[in-house]
Amino acid sequence: MVGFTPKAGEQVELRANVTLYEARGDYQLQVDAMRKAGLGDLHEAFLRLKIKLEAEGFLTPHANFLFRQCLKPSEW
């Protein structure tokens, strides 16, 4: 089970064994695992959360100012 369906053009990383299909002389890949290439699922989840929080106004300079007002200077 992979957990996602790769889209055309999307890069993936595979863990596989290369075998030879002797009847035709073709090589085969027997894939054990596949994951998205790049920074990974955790980074993608972070980016989705960041976009959501920006849309809700939580990552604006004003929101940052208000947050710092709630903290003591030693907690910055």
Residues 54, 26: one domain?
no
Q: Which pTM value belongs to this model?
A: 0.45
Residues 9, 34: one domain?
yes
Q: What are phi and psi of 16, to 5 degrees?
A: -150, 160
Section 16-42 average pLDDT: 90
Q: Is the pLDDT of residue 65 over 70?
A: yes
Residues 33, 4: one domain?
yes
Instruction: State the total domains in the chain.
Output: 2
Residues 7, 33: one domain?
yes
Residues in the chain: 76
Give the range of the structural domain holding residue 60, as residue numbers without chain letter.
47-76
Residues 34, 56: one domain?
no
Convert the chain into a string of H (helix), E (strand) and C (coil): CCCCCCCCCCCEEEEEEEEEECCCCEEEEEEEEEEECCCCHHHHHHHHHHHHHHHCCCCCHHHHHHHHHHCCHHHC
Q: Is the pLDDT of residue 3 over 80?
A: no
